[in-house]
Amino acid sequence: MNVKAYLEITMKINPENRPAAAKVYTDFRQPFLDTVKGALTKALLIRDEDVQVIHGFDSMEHAKAYLDTEMFKDDVVAGLRPTWAAEPDIRFYEAA
């Protein structure tokens, strides 16, 4: 397993909505790892000011392609949208 690219999604989620957001993460973590092409890792990071989900991929191509998958658009975003206090910040990184 060699992570070459990361997708970081930072979301502002109010404390009362965090359990619902955590459930979406938990429900889709393993399906993401099992079915998304190039997916290698997924981690949930929680701070007072925001919540981040860090996805590790085998290539930048696969990291970017994930945003166009049905799982991301129809399941993850649909489940998380009601919990957002603002639109998420989405960033891509290449591993050095």
**What value does the mean pLDDT of the chain take?**
97
% of the chain surpassing 90 pLDDT? 98
Burial of 81 (0-12, 13-18, 19+ CB in 10 A): exposed
Mean pLDDT along residues 60-79: 97
Mean pLDDT along residues 30-50: 96
* Pure H helices in 3-44: 18-35
Q: What is residue 13's DSSP assignment?
A: B
pLDDT computed for residue 84 by the predictor: 97
- Confidence band for 87, pLDDT divided at 50, 70 and 90: very high
Mean pLDDT along residues 31-56: 97
**CA gap 68, 81 in Å, rounded:** 16
pLDDT computed for residue 61 by the predictor: 98
**CA gap 77, 84 in Å, rounded:** 10
pLDDT computed for residue 1 by the predictor: 75
Predicted TM-score (pTM) of the model is 0.94
Residue 76 corresponds to which tokens in the numbers above? 């993850």
Could you give all domains of the chain from N- to C-terminal order, each with its CATH number?
A: 5-94 (3.30.70.100)
pLDDT computed for residue 92 by the predictor: 98
